[in-house]
A and B are shown apart, each in its own frame.
Chain A
Amino acid sequence: MTSPAGGAVELDGLVKRYGTGGAERTAVDGLSFGAARGAVTALLGPNGAGKTTTIEICEGFRRADAGTVRVLGRDPVADARELKPRVGVMPQSGGVPGTARAGEFLRLVASFHATPLDTGALLERLGLTEHARTPFRRMSGGQQQRLSLAVAVVGRPELVFLDEPTTGLDPQARHATWELIEELRAAGVSVVLTTHHMEEAERLADHVVIVDHGRVVAQGAPGVLTGAERQLRFRARPGLGLEELLAALPAGSAAKESPAGHYLIEADVRPELLATVTAWCASHGVMTEDLRIERRTLEDVFLELTGRDLRA
């Protein structure tokens, strides 16, 4: 992020307020992060966390009330003319005239660029070939999303901003989108996306920025954020004597029952530990179900940091 050319995006102390007087609301509250060039950076957070506002400031659509923004080393408003061809934008919804046909609108935007992608091949890749002549308003939500993604990348940009690229997509379309994002990254394109699907952030992102209430609550590579720790989960009859079980486990282990009948053991999960737990259950006549060993997810990290559910 401190390479000579600077990062793809560098934000420092960003503040954005909406409204005035008593109705004032702070959407972004001192947000700072960097997105490296050639990497996928995911802004992860619940609805209303300030993700879209942040991205729209980077796109030059809004001005920050305080803080600095650098996109490809430039100011998104003052240097807009230079940045436009270099930056692709996929807004959260809409942006295409209802009467415009998919292929027609894509070709129009392609024609603004000197060396655009082949629009036919791009439509095919995103499964839109048979909708090339369909007016935008008659396309399904998922088809509209994919067209919007195509419009963002058709000019072969260095950097793309994708605001919730897979919201409302069926699994097949979501995977097509993920593959395209992975290819963009492989081709050296910097990608900044917002999402509230931790699965998406975990799969795609090199760097995850967890945002809540307009602030960064944590950031790092997905593996670093979730840590190497594993945990053990199982279901059994409610009300087991966990303190007795804990006494049998190595020091530093933790165990809890939440909700009733669902048990979680956070510990250094090794084969011996597993044997200890199952032996203890056997000696107490407890039948375990759904016993599994798993890593912490971004969801767990988010819940721990903010006390709220990502999907809430």
Chain B
Amino acid sequence: MTALDLTPAPAAVPVPRMVAAQAGYELRTMLRNGEQLLLTLIIPVVLLVLFATTSLLDLGPGRRVDFLAPGILALAVLSTAFTGQAIGTGFERRYGVLKRLGATPLPRGGLIAAKTLAVLAVEAVQAAVICGVALALGWRPHGDPFSVLVLLLLGTAAFSGFGLLMAGTLRAEATLGAANLVYILLLAAGGVVFPLDDFPAPVRDALELLPISALAEGLRDVLRDGAALPGVPLLVLAVWAVVGLVLAARFFRWE
């Protein structure tokens, strides 16, 4: 048998190192999860290719892929920051993982930071794949990358806030169902692949206030129309981000 030196020698490593280790672990877990991969990569890519190469949908004037690519990027953020994170964290809470990690030196804020880093890393992979496919389909993006980055980060903050709020307050099974339902509703009614112009005007005005519509329309303003820092979408996303994160910080229960 191997000798183990069990003499006490307790000392934690600096918090950034713990966060990096946890983020790496979270990222591996997310990439290994088959159902999540379906949600984060396969569905967005299939929708992009299907509607860009066929005339199944009336996407309004202009090139089909120029309308679709920004919407699909918004959908990718929704799937990872909201749906995936809500389901994953909900089950971690249910199985006592959050509690268990709470007994280690990793601070709670560090755990949230690690989850955010892992979400951003998955989003980077999604963006690379989606942009690659879109470019192959003839996509010609315009606009400045900084505006795109700000929109994506604000969208991530808004969806993470509500994803964590759901995970930290509902039962895990309820979170699973509700997070998938919200994904489908926002996919259908958030200007991702179905243009909001197809809805009656009052409905359309209301739908434009959804975070997914703000993100999709904002990305379209920049990438298709060459706008810089589109004001209304940024404002809508900022409000959702603040409300979601404040509610999550207030109501999240760790067990």
**Residues of A that sit less than 8 Å from B by CB:** 59, 61, 81, 84-87, 89, 91, 93-100, 104-105, 108-109, 111-115, 117-118, 121-122, 124-125, 151, 153, 155-158, 183-184, 186-189
The CB with the most chain B CB atoms within 10 A, among A95, A105, A121, A122, is that of A95
A204 to chain B, nearest CB (A): 15
Report whether A121 and B4 are in contact in the complex, using a CB–CB cutoff of 8 Å: yes
The one of A97, A99, A118, A158 in contact with B8, judged by C-beta atoms closer than 8 angstroms, is: A158
A184 touching B100, Cβ below 8 Å: no
Given contacts A108-B21, A114-B12, contact A95 B96 (CB under 8 A): yes
Q: Is the CB of B105 within 8 A of A84?
A: yes
Contacts A95-B99, A97-B29, A115-B9 given; 11 further ones with Cβ under 8 A? A85-B105, A87-B103, A89-B103, A94-B95, A108-B25, A113-B13, A117-B6, A125-B1, A125-B4, A153-B6, A183-B4
Q: Which of A61, A108, A121, A184 is within 8 Å of B2, CB to CB?
A: A121
A81: chain B residues at CB < 8 Å are: 107
Q: Does B18 contact A (CB under 8 A)?
A: yes
User: Which B residues touch A183, using CB under 8 A?
Assistant: 4, 6
Complex CA distance for A37 and B107, rounded to whole angstroms? 26
Of the listed residues A100, A105, A108, A121, the one surrounded by the most CB atoms of chain B closer than 10 A to its CB is A108
- Report B1-46 residues with CB < 8 Å from chain A CB: 1-13, 17-18, 21-22, 25, 28-29, 32-33
Known contacts A59-B103, A109-B104; decide if A189 and B8 are in contact (CB<8 Å).
yes
Interface contact B107-A91, CB-CB below 8 Å: no
User: How far does the alpha carbon of A117 sit from the alpha carbon of B5 in the complex, in Å?
Assistant: 7
Interface residues of B in 53-93 (CB under 8 A from A): 91-92
17 A-B pairs within 8 Å (CB atoms) are namely A84-B103, A87-B103, A89-B100, A91-B100, A95-B95, A100-B25, A104-B25, A109-B104, A111-B18, A112-B13, A114-B9, A121-B4, A125-B1, A156-B7, A157-B10, A158-B10, A187-B7
Indicate the size class of the contact surface on chain B.
35 or more
Alpha-carbon gap, A98 to B32, bound state (A): 12
Q: Which residues of B contact A (CB under 8 A)?
A: 1-13, 17-18, 21-22, 25, 28-29, 32-33, 91-92, 95-97, 99-100, 102-107, 255
Chain A residue at minimal CB-CB distance from B110: A112
Complexed CA–CA distance, A299 and B91 (Å): 40
CA distance A114 to B96 in the complex (A): 25
Known: A117-B6, A158-B8, A187-B5. A61 touches B107 (CB 8 A): no
| Contacting residue for B12 out of A85, A121, A153, A187, CB 8 A | A85
- The answer to whether B6 touches A184, judged by C-beta atoms less than 8 angstroms apart, is yes
Chain A residues near B95 (CB-CB < 8 A): 94-98
**Do the beta carbons of B29 and A113 come within 8 Å of each other?**
no
A87–B105 Cα distance when bound, in Å, is: 9
Q: Indicate if the CB atoms of B4 and A85 lie closer than 8 Å.
A: no
B22 → chain A closest CB, angstroms: 7
Task: Report the bound CA distance from A187 to B255 in whole Å.
Answer: 33
Which residues in A have their C-beta under 8 angstroms from that of B102? 61
Cα distance A97–B4 in the bound complex, in angstroms: 26
Q: Which B residues lie within 8 Å of A96 (CB)?
A: 95, 97, 100
Q: Nearest Cβ distance between residue A240 and chain B, in whole angstroms? A: 52
List, in ascending order, chain A residues with CB within 8 A of B1's CB.
124-125
Chain A residues in 8 Å Cβ range of B32: 99
How far, in Å, is A126 (CB) from chain B's closest CB? 10
